Amino acid sequence: MAEIRLQELAHAYAPGAPHALKPLDMTWRDGGTYALLGPSGCGKSTMFNIVSGLLHPSEGRVLFDGQDVTRLGTGQRNIAQVFQVPVIYRSMTVGQNLGFPLACRGVPAPRIRRRVEAIAERLGLAPLLKRPANALTADQKQLVSLGRGLVREDVAAILLDEPLTVIDPQQKFELRRILKEINAEFRVTMVLVTHDQTEAMTFAEEVIVMNHGEVVQAGRPRDLFERPATTHVGHFIGSPAMNFLPALAVAGRAVVPGTGLSLSLPDGLPADGLMLGFRPEHARFSGASGAMRGRVARLWFEGLDEIVALSHPAGEVRLRAPAGQGLAPGDTAAFTLRDTALRLYRNGRLVA
């Protein structure tokens, strides 16, 4: 188990080529859970491969517990990996698969057996130890892959590369639960790479949102939701996306003209490129009078909630409200918003 430090790390696939991973500094605490989240081509796989040792960065260093491992290969880093497609030794039993990393290191057989039994018990694989591994279901195979990582007591980190992609939805839930429990119990550093927000937000204590080769925001799921660092994160996290309306600087405040929405401007902030943002969940319908009035353009019934699109000369906003507001397209509706729910952005970046 280790703290992982990425120091002035950057990568270009060829000398002089643009950075696939732009310079960054980051520390992953020992025993923490992290998710690298972003669309394909965002740089998350590059970063992941650098940590696992499959790729040597063109700049910067990778430290495991302070020790420089930048030039070491995967085998010398004491990490375990679980991939999208389960990697198992098909000719071996489940027990032999789990014990394989220890057998390779010449650990005495009785010790291997004890350790394998303990891990199998924990992962619910105990009844399957004598079974041939290729007879398992996809989710059981992923558990075996995970178990092979946990069986070594010196493992520095477990790296998970979209491990739930091939799993049926019903089993995904169970695997997510096991992953969380394992982390709580073994306190092993875990890093997940995924394009799926739900997976990232559910798994990780800290989500690292990436786009165009750069870390856009790193924070707790709640921070990403409450205080997205950029308008991109505001769109990407949350459903429907965060609302953003262009604002003007008027007497020391950022004001969305024609609405009651405004926020005081920090001193010295240039007055151009301003936007106010708020989450659809934070608005409350308020009858005829409120901070902002608009015409109901569309409604989506979702069961518990309805989503209401309001059009206004300043732009269209979407609000989420408990179903049964009695609104119809064409109606005029107003809503209120607490000041604390408003965020100020300038040129796409969070200011206040």
Partner 1 sequence: MLVLRDLSLTEGGVPHLAGVSVEAEPGRMTTLLGRTGAGKTTLLRAVAGLVQPQSGQISLAGADWSRLPPWRRPVAMVTQQFINYPHLSVLDNVAFPLIRRGEPREAAREAAAAMLGRVGLAQMTGRRPAALSGGQQQRVAIARALVKRAPVLLLDEPFVNLDYKLREGLREELAELLQSQSGTVALYATTDPREALQMGDCTVLIAEGRVLQAGPPCAVFGAPATLAAARVVNDPPINLLAAEITQSGLVLDHLGPQSAGATGRALPPGRYTLGLRAEDIRSGGPLPARVALTEVSGSETVTHLVAGALPLVMLERAVTDHRLGSELGLMLDLGKALVFGADGALIPKGASHG
* CA dist., res. 322 & res. 324, Å (int): 7
Q: Which of 234, 238, 259, 240 is nearest to 309 (CA)?
A: 240
* CA dist., res. 297 & res. 197, Å (int): 28
Q: What is the closest distance, in whole angstroms, from the C-beta atom of residue 181 to partner 1 in the complex?
A: 7
Q: What is the closest distance, in whole angstroms, from the C-beta atom of residue 350 to partner 1 in the complex?
A: 16
Q: What is the closest distance, in whole angstroms, from the C-beta atom of residue 328 to partner 1 in the complex?
A: 13
Identity of the residue, 89 or 301, whose beta carbon is nearer to partner 1 in the bound complex: 301
* CA dist., res. 38 & res. 199, Å (int): 12
Identity of the residue, 64 or 335, whose beta carbon is nearer to partner 1 in the bound complex: 335
Identity of the residue, 107 or 178, whose beta carbon is nearer to partner 1 in the bound complex: 178
Identity of the residue, 67 or 239, whose beta carbon is nearer to partner 1 in the bound complex: 239
* CA dist., res. 7 & res. 114, Å (int): 39
Q: How far is CA 146 from CA 199, 202, 292, in A?
A: 17, 18, 51
Q: What is the closest distance, in whole angstroms, from the C-beta atom of residue 42 to partner 1 in the complex?
A: 12
Write the DSSP symbol of residue 86: -
User: Residue 21, exposed/middle/buried by CB under 10 A (0-12, 13-18, 19+)?
Assistant: buried
Residues that bind partner 1 (CB under 8 A): 39-40, 169, 173, 176-177, 180-181, 184, 195-198, 201-202, 220-222, 224-226, 235-236, 238-241, 279-281, 300-305, 307, 320, 323
Residue with tokens 């558990």: 143
Q: What is the closest distance, in whole angstroms, from the C-beta atom of residue 307 to partner 1 in the complex?
A: 8
Q: What is the closest distance, in whole angstroms, from the C-beta atom of residue 139 to partner 1 in the complex?
A: 15
Q: What is the closest distance, in whole angstroms, from the C-beta atom of residue 186 to partner 1 in the complex?
A: 13
Q: Which of 301, 341, 339, 350 is nearest to 321 (CA)?
A: 301
Q: What is the closest distance, in whole angstroms, from the C-beta atom of residue 173 to partner 1 in the complex?
A: 7
* CA dist., res. 141 & res. 238, Å (int): 32
Strands 206-211 and 33-37: parallel
Identity of the residue, 181 or 339, whose beta carbon is nearer to partner 1 in the bound complex: 181
Identity of the residue, 33 or 52, whose beta carbon is nearer to partner 1 in the bound complex: 33
Q: What is the closest distance, in whole angstroms, from the C-beta atom of residue 279 to partner 1 in the complex?
A: 7
Sign of CA dihedral 260, 265, 271, 275: negative
Tokens linked to 107: 């650990």
Identity of the residue, 30 or 306, whose beta carbon is nearer to partner 1 in the bound complex: 306
Please spell the DSSP secondary structure of 175-240, one letter per residue.
Answer: HHHHHHHHHHHH--EEEEEES-HHHHHHH-SEEEEEETTEEEEEE-HHHHHHS-SBHHHHHHSSSS
Identity of the residue, 31 or 238, whose beta carbon is nearer to partner 1 in the bound complex: 238
Identity of the residue, 29 or 195, whose beta carbon is nearer to partner 1 in the bound complex: 195
Q: How far is CA 263 from CA 59, 89, 151, 199, in A?
A: 42, 60, 54, 34
* CA dist., res. 116 & res. 124, Å (int): 12
